């Protein structure tokens, strides 16, 4: 499709690990190549854009100007904020990451915080939070749709984007501004090991007979009962697997402050 027919998207990397981008790149339906050649025009994305250096920064400024009030802004990463904002500067133009995010948000048609870092601060904001990192919604007064997860699945990232592309509107949201279609139900309520939970059959220790039999992971730290996400139904990588299927339990990665509040995953 011609660039004019595609939805312009600007993706900013703040303080992050690039895991959310890795998840995006695993989109299979549509494939990532179909997504960026047929449906969206990815104007700026530090991991996969071909431009570098000053040219890349120029592209960002041009896209904000050219597609004013029409582009979608997607932000990955927590945002070193206020007195900590100088922990993140990008592109050598003397601006903090926080200022870049504020400026890009100003004329976006829709804003998605991709991942728990951008949605809630995430690991960057975990105690003692040396960079004073915070969520995207805390640095802009514009409405922000949160797509948390560490990382979110490729289908939750792309599904949120395509919903806007197809309908031109924002999805119904829960109390944390997460799309309800993805984050409306508990992991625990759709879990393939739920029958074992109800029957009182638990893994007591990793490697025991319960683990070999696929019993419930609650006693080894699974946070599925406290976590709202669709991993147990949607899975990752086109339905390949998800944490509980891998025998690991859910870490609560799509909930606010899960690093500090969800406790140790591998409890005895």
Binding positions for [3Fe-4S] cluster are 231, 250, 253
**By CB under 6 A, residue 231 contacts ligand F3S:** yes
| Among positions 187, 216, 217, 220, the unique one binding ligand F3S when judged by CB under 6 A | 187
Q: Which stretch binds ligand F3S (CB under 6 A): 36-44, 65-73, 91-99, 223-231?
A: 223-231
Contacts of 267 by beta carbon, 8 Å cutoff, 6+ apart: 219, 220, 221
Residue sitting closest to ligand SF4 (CB): 224
Q: Are 203 and 217 in contact (CB under 8 A)?
A: yes
Specify the residue for token string 């739920």: 194
Rule CB under 6 A: say whether 123 interacts with ligand F3S: no
Binding test (CB under 6 A) with ligand F3S, winner from 23, 132, 135, 227: 227
160 near ligand F3S, rule: CB under 6 A: no
Q: Binding ligand F3S by CB under 6 A: which of 77, 149, 159, 221?
A: 149
Q: Is 250 in the site for ligand F3S (CB under 6 A)?
A: yes
Q: Which residues sit in the known binding site for [4Fe-4S] cluster? A: 17, 20, 117, 150, 188, 191, 216, 222
Q: How far apart are CA 211 and CA 205, in angstroms?
A: 8
Query: What are the beta bridge partners of residue 42?
Result: 9
Reported as type and span, the H/E element at residue 119 is helix 116-120
Residue 23 binds to ligand F3S (criterion: CB under 6 A)? no
123 binds ligand SF4 (CB under 6 A): yes
- Nearest CB to ligand F3S, comparing residues 20 and 101: 20
Length of the chain as a residue count = 268
Question: Could you say which of ligand F3S, ligand SF4, none residue 158 binds, taking C-beta under 5 to 8 angstroms by partner kind?
Answer: none
- Let me know: does 52 contact 90? Beta carbons within 8 Å: no
Which three-class secondary structure state does DSSP give residue 113? Answer: strand
216 binds ligand F3S (CB under 6 A): no
Check: CB of residue 245 under 8 Å from CB of residue 234.
Answer: no
Distance from C-alpha of 75 to C-alpha of 113, rounded to nearest angstrom = 5
Among 108, 187, 231, 251, binds ligand SF4 (CB under 6 A): 187
Torsion of CA 251, 10, 88, 52, to 10 degrees: 120
Judge whether 46 and 15 are in contact, CB under 8 Å.
Answer: no
Q: Does 217 bind ligand SF4 (CB under 6 A)?
A: yes
For ligand F3S, the binding residues (CB under 6 A) are 149, 187, 227, 229, 231, 242-243, 250-251, 253-254
């Amino acid at each position: 499709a011609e660039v004019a027919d595609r939805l312009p998207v600007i993706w900013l990397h703040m303080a992050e690990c690039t895991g959310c981008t890795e998840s995006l790149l695993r989109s299979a339906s549509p494939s990532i190549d179909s997504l960026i050649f047929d449906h969206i025009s990815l104007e700026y994305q530090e991991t996969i854009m071909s431009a570098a250096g000053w040219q890349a920064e120029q592209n960002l400024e041009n896209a904000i100007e050219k597609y004013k009030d029409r582009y979608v802004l997607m932000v990955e990463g927590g945002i070193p904020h206020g007195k900590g904002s100088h922990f993140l500067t990008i592109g050598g133009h003397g601006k903090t990451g926080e200022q870049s995010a504020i400026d890009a948000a100003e004329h976006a048609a829709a804003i998605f915080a991709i991942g728990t870092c951008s949605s809630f601060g995430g690991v960057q904001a975990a105690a003692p939070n040396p960079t004073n990192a915070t969520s995207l919604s805390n640095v802009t007064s514009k409405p922000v749709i949160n797509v948390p997860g560490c990382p979110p699945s490729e289908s939750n990232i792309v599904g949120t984007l395509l919903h806007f592309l197809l309908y031109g509107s924002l999805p119904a949201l829960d109390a944390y501004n997460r799309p309800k279609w993805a984050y409306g139900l508990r992991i625990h309520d759709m879990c393939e090991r739920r029958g074992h939970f109800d029957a009182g059959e638990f893994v007591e220790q990793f490697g025991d007979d319960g683990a070999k039999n696929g019993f419930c992971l609650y006693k080894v730290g699974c946070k599925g009962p406290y976590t709202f996400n669709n991993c147990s139904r949607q899975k990752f990588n086109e339905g390949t697997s998800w944490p509980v299927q891998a025998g690991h339990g859910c870490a609560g990665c799509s909930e606010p402050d899960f690093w500090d509040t969800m406790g140790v995953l591998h409890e005895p």
